[in-house]
Homo-oligomer: A and B are copies of this chain.
Amino acid sequence: MIFTTKAEYGVRLLVELGRQHGRGPVSLKAIAQSEGLPLAYLERIVALLKKAELVESTRGAHGGYRLARPADEITMDAAILALEGKVAPMTCFVEELEGGGRVLCSHESDAGQGCATKLLWLRVQGGVMEKLAQTTLAELVAFSEREPALV
């Protein structure tokens, strides 16, 4: 499995916010009901999106969440990174942030060498990030609106 339900729920949440964009804040309760998702769990997920500054919130009655930017300026690599933390092909993948994405492998830590699989994992990860970066939230919103609304 590449992604967990954090990504699934989080993206669906973003799509829902994208649909309602410009019409004031949307409460999580409304989204949880229309998507059939557990509210308490959504709360924790939306916190990740807020920390990444993809959504904004207003507290109190009639509060809720809204997109921090227009949907066509939000790409999925930012969203997934915020939700999943990382997209690593393998447990031994640790990216050093300062080094600009250098990839370590537990097997080379002692010998300083790369293992045979590194080439493959790097290619796969590149393929994933590429597709994520090419997809905007606006596309997903449009896609979801072509389909007849369910609820």
Contacts and interface: CB of A to CB of B under 8 A. Distances in A.
Interface string A60-83: 000000000000000010000000
Interface string A117-151: 10111011111101110110001110110011010
A140 B128 contact: no
Contacts of A7: 90
B5 A2 contact: no
Contacts of A5: 90-91
B2 A90 contact: yes
A127 B131 contact: yes
Contact of A128 (B128, B139, B144, B150): B128
Contact of A130 (B117, B127, B134, B150): B127
B12 A116 contact: yes
Contacts of A125: 2
A24 interface: no
Sort A-B residue pairs by CB-CB distance and give the 9 closest, nearest first.
A116-B144, A127-B127, A127-B131, A15-B116, A2-B89, A123-B131, A119-B143, A124-B131, A2-B2
